[in-house]
Amino acid sequence: MILRIIAILGAVAAVVLFVLIGNQKEELQNELDDTRMTLRTTERNLSTVRGEKEELEGNVAELNTNLEESQAEVSSLQSQLTRTRRELAEANQIISARERDAEAARAEAARIRRELREAREEAERTVGTAEAGAQEAQRRIARLEQQLRAVEAGTQPETAPEDPLTGEPTYVRRPPVRGEVTEVDRQSNFIVINVGAGDNLRKDSILIVRRGAKMVARARLADVQETQSIAQVYPGGERIQAGDLIIAYN
């Protein structure tokens, strides 16, 4: 009787254990299925994240390339701006130099006009009294008129052979010669300049000496060498200094 009860209890325990094991197995299988599904979802998410990462890396590379190109363009624009500013400064210097030259030319033209007026007055005084003196005055007037036209045109006259009919020299126009004072002899009132025959200067050419935009004095070439010349300074001007600029009119 006891053995039968024990057998029955054992059978019941076995059934209960089987049921419990079956339920646990089912739960474990469900958990395993859930875990596998979660794993697949995670793998898909990871693949998506990797794709987004690669896309972001491509975008970063493209942005870096664009940044380098922009920096190169900025550097090029800065170089162009620097070059443009330098060219503008050079153009302003050229304009200033031309304005100074024009001012000096106007002053020289005014001086020639004064001498021309004086020569005409002298010619009028000598008419009827000294025919030779009148002829010389007329030649001087003609020469000054040619110099005046050359200065007003911003050029200088170059003496050519005499006209066989009038005996007067003919002229062609040439640009003024520019140079610089290198030495000053105040005792003898001479100056040395750094231009000469190689720059188409000739003896007795008229010089205008200036400092900046201001005309300082006038001078006449007394001795012309190949690369330098000596000029006699006319009285009445300011003190000339080494480094002053000169404009020479033949």
Give the tens place of pLDDT for each residue, 120-136: 666 666 554 555 555 66
Give the tens place of pLDDT for each residue, 215-248: 889 899 999 999 999 999 998 888 999 999 998 8
Alpha helices in the chain (DSSP H): 2-126, 131-152
Residues 6+ apart with CB under 8 A from 143: 168, 169
Please name the fold of domain 176-249: Thrombin, subunit H (2.40.10)
Give the tens place of pLDDT for each residue, 13-48: 666 666 666 667 677 778 777 788 888 888 888 888
Q: What are the sequence ranges of the domains in the chain?
A: 102-173, 176-249
Taking a C-beta distance cutoff of 8 angstroms, is the pair 169, 162 a contact?
Answer: yes
Residue 193, pLDDT above cutoff 80: yes
CA-based Rg of the chain, rounded to a whole angstrom?
52
The amino acid occupying position 171 is Y
Taking a C-beta distance cutoff of 8 angstroms, is the pair 194, 207 a contact?
Answer: no
pTM of the model: 0.37
